């Protein structure tokens, strides 16, 4: 049996009933709460900031997987640690001094993640992968929920898994964007360890059952 983690993306939750949706994830088969922070600069959308994340943290009983789609993420590492983030992911494309950023995240006691946009080659992480806890492979262009899954993601995940093995690293591979019941199994077979699902979960009639469905498919 696989040990695949499921991380529902709260960006797709009902913001008028955010506590309810956080508590739903708490009671589900999910493993993490995935939280997308967007600044309107690195990506064209703006999501939520510190007060909302503080509120989520007060109700969450599972780890907070925070994904920063922002420029200059180093400025906020200590802030997100103080808010209760367990995993902090920054974008490769936003970090000119990536190794220093990774180290700063770890020094705050968080797992260090690096996200790659669809056009970014995984080989750019060859010199850093040993120090990265998680690589978030964007399977849609970042900035909006509900986008169509990019099929090239499968080969990208296979290549990334090969790099991780080559470097003898224990890095987890997370897939973010367009994940659903139709592609979950193939993503796991390609090498995924964490599946982020937003619209597919929260737009369903029964989000709790949908999380169970993905978890059961991924962990056969």
Q: Which of 31, 36, 39, 193 is catalytic?
A: 36
pLDDT given at position 1 = 63
Q: Pull the structure tokens for residue 147.
A: 């986008």
56 and 18 Cβ atoms separated by less than 8 Å: yes
Annotated catalytic residue 193: no
pLDDT at 218: 97
Instruction: Please say if 74 is a catalytic residue.
Output: no
Of 138, 212, 125, which Cα lies nearest the Cα of 171?
Answer: 125
Q: What is the pLDDT of residue 142?
A: 85
Q: Residue 10: what pLDDT?
A: 97
Tens of each residue's pLDDT in the chain, 220 residues? 689 999 999 999 999 999 999 999 999 999 999 999 999 999 999 999 999 999 999 999 999 999 999 999 999 999 999 999 999 999 999 999 999 999 999 999 999 999 999 999 999 999 999 999 999 999 999 876 677 899 999 999 999 999 999 999 999 999 999 999 999 999 999 999 999 999 999 999 999 999 999 999 999 8
Helix (H, G, I), strand (E, B) or coil at 212: helix
From first CA to last CA, the distance across the chain in angstroms is 6
Question: Where in the chain are the domains?
Answer: 5-218
Q: In whole angstroms, what is the distance from residue 31 CA to residue 34 CA?
A: 10
| From 31, 65, 133, 176, active-site residue | 176
CATH class of this structure's domain 5-218: alpha beta
What is the SS3 assignment for 72-89?
CHHHHHHHHHHHCCCEEE
């Amino acid at each position: 049996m696989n040990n695949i983690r499921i991380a529902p993306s709260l960006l797709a939750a009902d913001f008028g009933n955010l506590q309810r949706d956080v508590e739903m994830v708490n009671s589900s088969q999910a493993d993490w709460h995935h939280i997308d922070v967007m600044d309107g600069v690195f990506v064209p959308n703006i999501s939520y900031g510190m007060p909302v994340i503080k509120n989520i943290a007060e109700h969450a009983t599972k780890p907070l997987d925070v994904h920063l789609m922002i420029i200059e993420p180093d400025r906020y590492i200590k802030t997100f640690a103080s808010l209760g983030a367990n995993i902090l992911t920054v974008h490769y494309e936003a970090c000119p001094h990536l190794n220093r950023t990774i180290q700063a995240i770890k020094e705050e006691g968080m797992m260090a993640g690096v996200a790659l946009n669809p056009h970014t080659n995984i080989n750019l992480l060859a010199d850093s992968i040993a120090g990265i806890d998680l690589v978030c492979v964007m399977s849609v262009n970042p900035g909006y929920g509900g986008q169509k899954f990019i099929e090239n993601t499968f080969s990208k995940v296979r290549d990334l898994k090969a790099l991780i093995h080559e470097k003898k690293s224990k890095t987890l591979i997370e897939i973010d964007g367009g994940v659903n019941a139709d592609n979950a199994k193939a993503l796991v077979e390609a090498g995924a360890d964490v599946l982020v699902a937003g619209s597919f979960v929260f737009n369903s009639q029964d989000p709790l059952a949908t999380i169970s469905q993905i978890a059961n498919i991924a962990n056969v």
